[in-house]
Chain A
Amino acid sequence: MGLIKGIAEAVMEKAKHEVKDYLIKFMEEEKEKEKKTEEIKKEEIPAAVLKESVKAEELKEEDDEDEEILPLIESEFTKFTYKVKPKDFTIPGELADIIKMLPVEEFACFIKLMMFVFEQKKNFGYLGNTLRRKIGLESFENEKFDKTVENLEKYGVLKVEQVSDNQKTFILYVPFDEETMVKAEYQKPEKPQQKKVEKKPVKKVDEEEKKSVEKENDQQDDIPGKAVFGMENDDLYKSYRTFVSLEIDKAKMRVGRSNFDKIYMEAVKYIDKKYGFKVLSDSEKFKEYLTNYYISAFDIPTFEAWKKTKV
Chain B
Amino acid sequence: MLDSRILLKSLNDLEVRIMLCKSAFEWELLAKKYVDVESNIKNFFKKKKIPENFAIALDRLRASLVQKKGELPPVDLSDFFK
Q: Name A's B-contacting residues (CB within 8 A).
A: 126, 128-130, 133-136, 138, 167, 225, 241-242, 244-245, 248, 260-261, 264-269, 272, 277-278, 280-281, 283-284, 286-287, 290-291
Mind listing 11 A-B residue pairs with CB under 8 Å?
A128-B82, A136-B26, A241-B81, A244-B81, A245-B78, A265-B70, A265-B71, A266-B70, A272-B66, A278-B35, A283-B75
Bound-state CA distance A126–B79 (Å) is: 8
Q: A261 contacts B24, CB within 8 Å?
A: no
Q: Which residues of A contact B66 (CB under 8 A)?
A: 268-269, 272, 277, 280
Of the candidates A126, A138, A225, A277, the one whose C-beta lies within 8 Å of that of B82 is A126
CB distance from A151 to the nearest CB of B (A): 22
Of the candidates B69, B77, B78, the one whose C-beta lies within 8 Å of that of A280 is B69
Q: A290 contacts B77, CB within 8 Å?
A: yes
Bound-state CA distance A129–B25 (Å) is: 15
Q: Which residues of A contact B73 (CB under 8 A)?
A: 261
Tell me whether chain A's interface is mostly helix, strand or loop, or mixed: helix
Number of A-B residue pairs with CB-CB distance less than 8 Å in the complex they form: 72
Of the candidates A134, A241, A261, A277, the one whose C-beta lies within 8 Å of that of B25 is A134
Bound-state CA distance A244–B77 (Å) is: 11
Q: Which residues of B contact A134 (CB under 8 A)?
A: 24-25
Given contacts A264-B75, A280-B65, 14 further A-B contacts (CB under 8 A): A126-B79, A126-B82, A133-B24, A242-B81, A244-B81, A269-B66, A269-B70, A272-B62, A277-B34, A277-B62, A281-B32, A281-B35, A283-B75, A287-B80
Q: Which residues of B contact A278 (CB under 8 A)?
A: 35
CB distance from A274 to the nearest CB of B (A): 12
Q: How many residues of B contact A (CB 8 A)?
A: 25
Q: Name B's A-contacting residues (CB within 8 A).
A: 23-26, 28, 31-32, 34-35, 62, 65-66, 69-71, 73-82
Bound-state CA distance A133–B25 (Å) is: 7
Of the candidates B70, B80, B82, the one whose C-beta lies within 8 Å of that of A167 is B82
Bound-state CA distance A265–B72 (Å) is: 9
Q: Which residues of B contact A290 (CB under 8 A)?
A: 75, 77
Bound-state CA distance A261–B75 (Å) is: 10
Bound-state CA distance A268–B27 (Å) is: 13
Bound-state CA distance A225–B31 (Å) is: 23
